[in-house]
Chains A and B, each alone.
Chain A
Amino acid sequence: MSSVETRPATKPADYTSDVKPIWCPGCGDYHVLMSFTRAFAQLGLPPEKIVVVSGIGCSSRIPAYTNCYGFHGVHGRSLAIAAGLKVTRPDLTVVVASGDGDGYSIGGNHFLHACRRNIDMTYVVMDNRVYGMTKGQPSPTTEPDFDTALSPGGTGLNPFHPLVIALASGANFVARAFSGEPKETAGIIVEAIRHPGFSFVEILSPCVTFRPDEREWKNLVHPAPVTATSEPAKAARRIMTDDGFNIGILYRGARRPYQARTEDQNIDLADLEKDFEL
């Protein structure tokens, strides 16, 4: 768990910048931003000690809308940027923000290895089951029969199951939230940040422009019928019967977070040359 310097009575507004989001009104990401700032306020972390790292896509615009340090990187590589940052600055709280395209498609490989590496950070993916920024192509979590210009009649492909992948790859904390419940989502984010190692939170966040059908999600989501488990096998069995709308923390593991190999003998640089001396 990152060391937290708490300050009294922080409010979500302390974590919000004055930059106006470009998101469409009705977008789930507005609620996610609220959840972020609410979570940061709950944790009482100084904004200058939080870094929000993102890739490319609507969800990835979020860093500039917070008052923390931010990194708006290139498509799909936010987890790699975050890894280099957290290993060298373990004192910072690192939150990675992504979407289903950025995170599960081009970012897919980095997702597997981030879970496996288990560096202490929190990965939040705003899943709207579509590529919103580029005007509505299917993403790895889109339903097989969803008709788009790029895939007329639907892709016919099974959607990716991110929670299964996260669990199988070694993530230490796995949860699903719904943007339409910002208070509950903030609570899950707080737990995710507090939990050591790699924490993964998938947030169902409807796209009002390209997936107006997702308005229905507020009627489909429901609290998960079971409480979080710390046993991977149990979590795996539960996830097999997941309908995609279970909300809550699925798994809280006990894997030790990644430890960079440091010796810090603080040796003289001249000692490094000894290997070469004749």
Chain B
Amino acid sequence: MAGSPSISIAVLGSGGAGALTTGNSLLETASAAGWHGLYTRTLGPQIRGGEAAGLLRLAVHPVECLPDQFDLLIGIDWLNAHRFGAEIKIGPQTLVISDPQGGEPPPMVTETGARVVEVPMKDLAKTIPEGRPNMIALGIASRLLGFSTEQVFAAVKNRLADKGPAAIEASLTGIKLGFSAAAAIDFDKRLATPRANSNRRWLLSGNEATALGAIRGGIRFAAAYPITPATEILEWLAPNLPKVGGALLQAEDELAAINMIIGSSFGGTPALTATSGPGLSLMIEALGLATSAEIPIVVVDVMRAGPSTGIPTKSEQADLNIAVYGLHGDAPHLALAPQSVGDCMFTTQWATYLAESLQTPAIILSDQFMGQSRAAIERPADITFIGARTVAADIAGAYKRYATAGNGVSPMAIPGLRGGQYTAEGLTHSERGTPTSGAADHLAQLDKRRDKLEHFNFGDHWASIEGTGDFAVITWGSLTGAAREATGRAAADGLDTRLVAPRLLAPAQPQQMAAALEGAKRILVVEQTHGGQFHKYLRAHYDLPASVRVLNRPGPLPITAGEIHRAITEWR
């Protein structure tokens, strides 16, 4: 039978069932076998023992969004599973594996015409000492997807390495039982064989990719205050920064964290912190300080649903406004957004390079979906952007830290350089850096800070621009993958569609956007906000053709490729 382009599996369970471990193990098995994959999880509100679902999509090609519908759903039990109804879409084509002892299947199973096959996973697990139903489920899923027991064993042994031989033995036996139980089940979706290639591949989360990109970009100091869903960035940096001669300091709050990285950067060490919306709000004042004093820093905002405390575990794109417009006064700075798990690495590295080159803060708008999803990807190409701060040397005469001559980037004296002494200032200052309230100085420094950004050549990385046609989809961040899939489907139907996804949100790039939209007659803006922030931002900074529609929805549910595709075809 022909291989499917992609296949999607959801595994549910509660009360310590270990559904997420099943999902992760499947991802690891598949990626070791050469597949690309994207894995995310969704949880109930409890800290332990809650209902949980692992959502996995596997394919031969890179996967950057979840599917419109799942092919296989395994319910280790159905307790409180109705919570996931909106997120886990299934239909008549879906195979559902259900444990007769697992409680009542929710409406999403019983009312969609899905095919239900019962397997007594809990009872089977009881036949093994220390047996666990999630390993039975793993066996079932692996068999249905066409993996061998060896492939699954390898992944599980790795995962359970520090749990002892008894636990490993129990798991392997459970997987074997699951394999046997699945032997009789009909499942006609199969993954196509992955093409053998010599490219190295990685398995990592967006947060891990962000952290690695930071170190590659030259970051050697991080200040950390934990916040969901950004904490993993800091947790990866804590042991790894010292390995490259750097350091991480835990701060007492976000106010301390942002000021610590400013202090580090002032002393010559590129620095970063990571937070989410509430933390970014606290950091706004100091971001203005760094902008005014022209001190490079990198702040990652892993966006979650807002406002205020919002939904800490869910994704949204509504921190655009605060990132671009949040600073009081006229304070232009950098704002960027990665477009996929893998792109988190590139964008963070590039943002560090830009911040250092332009002596200004860079805010990176990642989000919970990219940050906490794991993806099996091709190892990204090495890129040589590394922080390129213009540093003063050999000072003759009175040093002017904020000299306005040239492209607006003035050499920065690093403490220790004789003759370079100056006081970095949040107060409006003269070229020398001394406080002033004069009109000419204020204007000169505002011009300097604006011009240094406007004169900079950001090159092609400023946006992903793909496709042809007079219909264009404009989106950003984690929706880029879904939009790419949607425009791909439209093109396959003969509807040529462009995709424009800016990676650089601030400063705006009017000339480049005009070139990207040349000839486009209809624009579909897609964003995960309630208030249409991205649409308004586009209108504020760019000329758009007369015909614009907006597909926007706030979190927690992602906008799927199917929805975007429908919006495109309905407008034709």
Which residues from chain A sit less than 8 Å from chain B, CB to CB?
17, 19, 46-49, 51-53, 63-64, 67-74, 76-89, 91-92, 109-110, 112-113, 260-267, 269, 271-273, 275-278
Shortest Cβ distance from B210 into chain A, in angstroms? 13
| B233 CB within 8 Å of chain A | no
Shortest Cβ distance from B31 into chain A, in angstroms? 5
Question: How many A-B contacts if CB must be within 8 Å?
Answer: 183
Q: Nearest CB to that of A51 among chain B residues?
A: B415
| B344 CB within 8 Å of chain A | no
The answer to whether A87 and B264 have CB atoms under 8 Å apart is yes
Q: How does the 8 Å CB contact mask read for B10-44 relative to A, with 1 for contact and 0 for none?
A: 00000000000000000000011000000000000
Instruction: Report B-chain residues with C-beta under 8 Å of the C-beta of A110.
Output: 252, 255-256
The answer to whether B247 and A261 have CB atoms under 8 Å apart is yes
Interface residues of B in 248-278 (CB under 8 A from A): 248-249, 251-253, 255-269, 271
Q: Supply 10 further A-B pairs (C-beta < 8 A) apart from A71-B423, A272-B243, A276-B203.
A: A48-B416, A48-B418, A72-B435, A81-B262, A85-B415, A89-B416, A91-B416, A260-B242, A267-B244, A272-B215
| B200 CB within 8 Å of chain A | yes
The answer to whether A89 and B204 have CB atoms under 8 Å apart is no
Of the candidates B208, B260, B433, the one whose C-beta lies within 8 Å of that of A80 is B260
Known: A71-B423, A263-B243, A278-B201. A113 touches B262 (CB 8 A): no
Subset of 12 A-B contacts with CB under 8 Å: A48-B418, A51-B267, A72-B423, A81-B260, A84-B223, A85-B267, A88-B220, A89-B267, A113-B252, A113-B256, A267-B244, A275-B208
The answer to whether A74 and B286 have CB atoms under 8 Å apart is yes
The CA-CA distance from A48 to B288 in the complex, in Å, is 26
| B212 CB within 8 Å of chain A | yes
Known: A262-B247, A278-B202. A72 touches B255 (CB 8 A): no
Interface residues of B in 286-325 (CB under 8 A from A): 286, 288-289
Instruction: Report A-chain residues with C-beta under 8 Å of the C-beta of B427.
Output: 72
The answer to whether B285 and A74 have CB atoms under 8 Å apart is yes
| B419 CB within 8 Å of chain A | yes
Known: A64-B435, A74-B285, A266-B244. A83 touches B260 (CB 8 A): yes
The CA-CA distance from A266 to B242 in the complex, in Å, is 9
Interface residues of B in 187-224 (CB under 8 A from A): 200-204, 208, 212, 215-216, 220-221, 223
Of the candidates B31, B253, B376, the one whose C-beta lies within 8 Å of that of A109 is B253
Shortest Cβ distance from A55 into chain B, in angstroms? 10
| B235 CB within 8 Å of chain A | no
The answer to whether B244 and A84 have CB atoms under 8 Å apart is no
Shortest Cβ distance from A33 into chain B, in angstroms? 14
Of the candidates B32, B215, B243, B416, the one whose C-beta lies within 8 Å of that of A49 is B416
The answer to whether A71 and B266 have CB atoms under 8 Å apart is yes
The answer to whether A85 and B243 have CB atoms under 8 Å apart is no
Shortest Cβ distance from B182 into chain A, in angstroms? 25
Instruction: Report B-chain residues with C-beta under 8 Å of the C-beta of A273.
Output: 202, 212, 379
Interface residues of B in 421-470 (CB under 8 A from A): 421-427, 433-435
The answer to whether A69 and B422 have CB atoms under 8 Å apart is yes
Of the candidates A73, A89, A263, the one whose C-beta lies within 8 Å of that of B262 is A73
The CA-CA distance from A247 to B413 in the complex, in Å, is 38
The CA-CA distance from A205 to B523 in the complex, in Å, is 64
Which secondary structure dominates where chain B touches chain A? mixed
The answer to whether B419 and A80 have CB atoms under 8 Å apart is no
Known: A84-B260, A264-B245, A277-B202. A64 touches B434 (CB 8 A): yes
Interface centre among A70, A92, A109, A267 (most CB of B within 10 A): A70
Shortest Cβ distance from A277 into chain B, in angstroms? 6
Instruction: Report B-chain residues with C-beta under 8 Å of the C-beta of A84.
Output: 221, 223, 249, 259-265, 267, 271
Shortest Cβ distance from B101 into chain A, in angstroms? 37
The answer to whether A85 and B240 have CB atoms under 8 Å apart is no
The answer to whether A71 and B263 have CB atoms under 8 Å apart is yes
Shortest Cβ distance from B233 into chain A, in angstroms? 14
Shortest Cβ distance from B155 into chain A, in angstroms? 11
Shortest Cβ distance from B520 into chain A, in angstroms? 38
The answer to whether B266 and A85 have CB atoms under 8 Å apart is yes
The CA-CA distance from A73 to B261 in the complex, in Å, is 12
The answer to whether A69 and B415 have CB atoms under 8 Å apart is yes
| B417 CB within 8 Å of chain A | yes
The CA-CA distance from A82 to B256 in the complex, in Å, is 10
Known: A71-B423, A110-B256, A277-B200. A85 touches B216 (CB 8 A): no
| B420 CB within 8 Å of chain A | yes
Instruction: Report B-chain residues with C-beta under 8 Å of the C-beta of A70.
Output: 421-424
Known: A49-B415, A92-B415, A276-B202. A19 touches B267 (CB 8 A): no
Instruction: Report A-chain residues with C-beta under 8 Å of the C-beta of B269.
Output: 88-89
Interface centre among A109, A269, A272 (most CB of B within 10 A): A272
The CA-CA distance from A277 to B258 in the complex, in Å, is 32
Of the candidates B32, B263, B416, B423, the one whose C-beta lies within 8 Å of that of A83 is B263
The answer to whether A46 and B259 have CB atoms under 8 Å apart is no
Q: Nearest CB to that of B413 among chain A residues?
A: A69
The answer to whether A71 and B424 have CB atoms under 8 Å apart is yes
Interface centre among B31, B208, B243 (most CB of A within 10 A): B243
Shortest Cβ distance from B201 into chain A, in angstroms? 5
Q: Nearest CB to that of B433 among chain A residues?
A: A64
Instruction: Report A-chain residues with C-beta under 8 Å of the C-beta of B204.
Output: 275-276
Instruction: Report A-chain residues with C-beta under 8 Å of the C-beta of B216.
Output: 269
Of the candidates B31, B267, B416, B417, the one whose C-beta lies within 8 Å of that of A88 is B267
Known: A261-B247, A263-B243. A80 touches B263 (CB 8 A): yes
The answer to whether A82 and B263 have CB atoms under 8 Å apart is yes
Q: Nearest CB to that of B415 among chain A residues?
A: A69
Q: Nearest CB to that of A112 among chain B residues?
A: B252
Interface centre among A67, A69, A260, A272 (most CB of B within 10 A): A69
Instruction: Report B-chain residues with C-beta under 8 Å of the C-beta of A263.
Output: 242-243
Of the candidates A68, A112, A113, A266, the one whose C-beta lies within 8 Å of that of B245 is A266
Shortest Cβ distance from A266 into chain B, in angstroms? 7
Shortest Cβ distance from B448 into chain A, in angstroms? 19
Shortest Cβ distance from A203 into chain B, in angstroms? 20
The CA-CA distance from A271 to B415 in the complex, in Å, is 32
Instruction: Report A-chain residues with C-beta under 8 Å of the C-beta of B257.
Output: 80
The CA-CA distance from A128 to B223 in the complex, in Å, is 33
Shortest Cβ distance from A126 into chain B, in angstroms? 17
The answer to whether A69 and B423 have CB atoms under 8 Å apart is yes
Q: Nearest CB to that of A116 among chain B residues?
A: B252
Known: A88-B220, A261-B242. A74 touches B426 (CB 8 A): yes
Instruction: Report B-chain residues with C-beta under 8 Å of the C-beta of A48.
Output: 415-421
Q: Nearest CB to that of B419 among chain A residues?
A: A48
The answer to whether B263 and A278 have CB atoms under 8 Å apart is no
The CA-CA distance from A70 to B425 in the complex, in Å, is 9
The CA-CA distance from A47 to B423 in the complex, in Å, is 13
The CA-CA distance from A86 to B249 in the complex, in Å, is 11
Q: Nearest CB to that of A70 among chain B residues?
A: B423
Instruction: Report B-chain residues with C-beta under 8 Å of the C-beta of A53.
Output: 263
Of the candidates A19, A47, A73, A80, the one whose C-beta lies within 8 Å of that of B426 is A73
The CA-CA distance from A72 to B422 in the complex, in Å, is 10
The answer to whether B259 and A77 have CB atoms under 8 Å apart is yes
Instruction: Report A-chain residues with C-beta under 8 Å of the C-beta of B285.
Output: 74
Q: Nearest CB to that of A263 among chain B residues?
A: B242
Q: Nearest CB to that of B297 among chain A residues?
A: A84
Nearest 6 A/B pairs, CB to CB = A70-B423, A84-B263, A84-B260, A80-B259, A81-B263, A85-B263
Instruction: Report A-chain residues with C-beta under 8 Å of the C-beta of B246.
Output: 262
The answer to whether B242 and A262 have CB atoms under 8 Å apart is yes
